[in-house]
Amino acid sequence: MKITVIGAGYVGLVSAVCFAELGNKVLCVEKSSSKLDELSRGMSPIQEPGLTEILDKNLEEGRIRFSDSIKEGVDFSKVIFICVGTPQSENGMADLSQVEEVSRQIAMHMGEYKLIIEKSTVPVKTHELIRRTIKRYAREDLEFDVASNPEFLREGFAVYDFMNPDRIVIGVESKRAVEIFQEIYQPFTENGNTLFVTKTSAAEIIKYASNSFLAIKISYINMLADLAEKVGVDVDMIAEGVGRDKRIGRDFLNAGIGYGGSCLPKDVNAFIHMAENYGLDFGLLKETEKINLNRRKQFLEKVEKLLWINRDKKIAVWGLAFKANTDDVRDAPSLGIVKGLLETGAQLCLYDPEAMENFKTIFSESKKLNYVEDKYDALHESEALLVLTEWDEFKEADLKRIKELMKLPIVVDGRNIFNRDKMESEGFEYHGMGR
Ligand code: UDX
């Protein structure tokens, strides 16, 4: 099949490259000339396991190419995926200006039937605005469909998740559109996946509802972490016991300093605002957000309580990325925690295997803050080690070496990655979250 993808951001690029890998001919439209240049040379602007390899392979085999022309994209295929950015605007709603602009341009260049698919995360009823825009700007006699096909990729697993979906959600209003989707996703349906075909508004809601549910799970276990701490039990035990109920499941019940990233915080917030527009109060999600933001504050309080006074004390920080296996620091809990520590006058030494460059664009090096290239170098003379990301290399670290290097062996584990008994038997003063 021929497929056009507009927008080579996270979702767009991964989708374009994966559709090409599945044997389709793909044209990916991107307006940034520097990005286009990189992509045409086989370099991916985002780091995702396997992405560069399949980008190179498909460029070489002529199944994918890049262009800055929406007209070319519209002429290329009857299937057009809109994957442009929908950043959070100041009022908490998604900013849809790029979606509107692309819809107008598609309309102006259309000469025959098109299936226009929103893959970006957009508020409910956006498909109606896209449809109205296309109707206004396109030739009157032209037929078209607007559909929703939300994406559920996790950072660090994007290619894997695209190729091994839990579910493929299709929001459509016509039989013709369903048939085209069946063709697009045939490689998956042949392997036993089924398409979940629903109304377009339902598909739009499913994306927000999924991310919000994950956020609720995390805040729920974090709420229980507070109780566990007061009572004197480990929250991990509670997560294990509760999670063994198949209806609940153990995933996303890891307590800690809370969720971050480019999706969960933004989507929860946008969902709350979307509900408000319908006169509904999503108090459950407001509480989820509140618990999440409080985690950072509670972590800071925990550190300050342990050290009594932070001023001029050397503190090592391991982990800046919002989660392991990514260099992304957007909305990462580390941002608020580092800011809070600096406000108390602590002397910080930061390390992250991937995210330091991104973090430096927000917190540059100073007298009170420096970065090191080796995790052990962060520990010299430190009076506490704070763990903010669940990287495997931290879990596997040499505990004896850590203890030798530190001035005081105090570990505050914001992600509960260490075994408490083991830490204590090695002579650490160990503090987790809800343990
Ligand atoms: C998420 C969704 O999982 C994905 O389906 C959607 O398409 C995009 O948003 P992502 O942002 O990559 O993916 O990260 P995810 O793995 O969901 O983790 C989100 C945050 O929650 C991270 O900060 C992580 O550390 C935190 N988290 C996750 C917890 O604090 N506890 C958990 O048990 C799980």
Query: Could you report the per-residue pLDDT of 347-372, keeping only the tens digit for each?
Result: 999 999 999 999 999 999 999 999 99
Residue 244's CB is within 10 A of a number of other CB atoms, namely: 10
What's the pLDDT tens digit per position in 230-251?
Answer: 999 999 999 999 999 999 999 9
CA of residue 252 to ligand 1 center, whole Å? 8
Q: How far is it, in rounded angstroms, from Cα 190 to Cα 226?
A: 47
Give the burial class of 129: count Cβ atoms within 10 A of its Cβ; 0-12 exposed, 13-18 middle, 19 or more buried.
Answer: middle
User: Are the CB atoms for 92 and 270 separated by under 8 Å?
Assistant: yes
Q: How far is it, in rounded angstroms, from Cα 288 to Cα 9?
A: 28
Of all protein residues, the one whose alpha carbon is nearest to atom 31 of ligand 1 is 254
Do 145 and 291 share a domain, yes or no?
Answer: no
**Helix or strand holding residue 411 (H, E):** strand 410-413
Closest by CA to 376, choosing from 405, 396, 415, is 405
Do 249 and 387 share a domain, yes or no?
Answer: yes
92 pLDDT exceeds 80? no
CA 149 to chain centre: 18
User: Are the CB atoms for 235 and 435 separated by under 8 Å?
Assistant: yes
Q: Does a structural domain hold residue 294?
A: yes
What is the band of 154 on the pLDDT scale with cuts at 50, 70, 90? very high
Closest by CA to 171, choosing from 118, 131, 218, is 118
pTM comes to 0.94
Q: Where are the beta strands (DSSP E) in 135-220?
A: 144-148, 168-171, 195-198
**Helix or strand holding residue 4 (H, E):** strand 2-6
Domain boundary among 125, 146, 163: 163
Q: Does a structural domain hold residue 56?
A: yes
pLDDT of residue 192: 85
User: Are the CB atoms for 58 and 23 separated by under 8 Å?
Assistant: no
Strands 114-118 and 410-413: unpaired
Closest by CA to 77, choosing from 182, 7, 180, 172, is 180
Q: Does a structural domain hold residue 196?
A: no
Q: What is the CATH number of the domain that holds 314?
A: 3.40.50.720
Whether residue 253 has its Cβ less than 6 Å from ligand 1 = yes
Give the position, in ligand 1's atom list, of the atom nearest the Cα of 264.
9
Do 256 and 112 share a domain, yes or no?
Answer: no
pLDDT averaged over every residue in the chain? 96
Do 129 and 224 share a domain, yes or no?
Answer: no
Written as six digits, the tokens of 406 are 């530190």
Do 272 and 129 share a domain, yes or no?
Answer: no
194 pLDDT exceeds 90? no
CA of residue 71 to ligand 1 center, whole Å? 36
pLDDT of residue 114: 98
Quote the DSSP letter at residue 249: -
388 HSE (CA, 13 A, CB side): 30
Whether residue 256 has its Cβ less than 6 Å from ligand 1 = yes
Q: How far is it, in rounded angstroms, from Cα 355 to Cα 326?
A: 7
Q: How far is it, in rounded angstroms, from Cα 392 to Cα 256?
A: 16
Q: Does a structural domain hold residue 126?
A: yes
Q: Does a structural domain hold residue 352?
A: yes
207 pLDDT exceeds 80? yes
Whether residue 260 has its Cβ less than 6 Å from ligand 1 = yes
Amino acid at 112: E
Do 77 and 220 share a domain, yes or no?
Answer: no
Q: Does a structural domain hold residue 373?
A: yes
What's the pLDDT tens digit per position in 272-319?
Answer: 999 999 999 999 999 999 999 999 999 999 999 999 999 999 999 999
Average pLDDT for 368-392:
97
pLDDT of residue 61: 97
What's the pLDDT tens digit per position in 335-352?
Answer: 999 999 999 999 999 999
Domain of 157?
2-163
Place of tokens 């620091």: 329
Catalytic residue among 18, 83, 263, 349: 263
Do 49 and 115 share a domain, yes or no?
Answer: yes
Q: Does a structural domain hold residue 362?
A: yes
pLDDT of residue 80: 98
Of all protein residues, the one whose alpha carbon is nearest to atom 32 of ligand 1 is 252
Over its C-alpha atoms, the chain yields an Rg (Å, rounded) of 24
DSSP string computed for 303-347: HHHHHS--TT-EEEEE--SSSTT----TT-HHHHHHHHHHHTT-E
Do 389 and 280 share a domain, yes or no?
Answer: yes
Whether residue 263 has its Cβ less than 6 Å from ligand 1 = yes
Whether residue 264 has its Cβ less than 6 Å from ligand 1 = yes
Whether residue 218 has its Cβ less than 6 Å from ligand 1 = yes
Count of the separate structural domains present in the chain: 2
What is the band of 47 on the pLDDT scale with cuts at 50, 70, 90? confident
What is the band of 193 on the pLDDT scale with cuts at 50, 70, 90? confident
Coil, strand or helix at 369:
strand
What length is written for the chain? 435
Q: How far is it, in rounded angstroms, from Cα 328 to Cα 320?
A: 9
What's the pLDDT tens digit per position in 96-128?
Answer: 999 999 999 999 999 999 999 999 889 999 999
Give the position, in ligand 1's atom list, of the atom nearest the Cα of 156.
12
pLDDT of residue 236: 96
| Main-chain dihedrals φ then ψ at residue 291, nearest 5 degrees | -60, -40
Give the position, in ligand 1's atom list, of the atom nearest the Cα of 215.
21
Q: Where are the beta strands (DSSP E) in 190-322?
A: 195-198, 314-318
Q: Does a structural domain hold residue 202?
A: no
Average pLDDT for 141-158:
96
Q: How far is it, in rounded angstroms, from Cα 30 to Cα 67?
A: 6
Average pLDDT for 408-419:
97
Of all protein residues, the one whose alpha carbon is nearest to atom 14 of ligand 1 is 154
pLDDT of residue 406: 98
Average pLDDT for 1-16:
97
Place of tokens 């449809």: 131
Q: Among this protein's residues, is 263 annotated catalytic?
A: yes
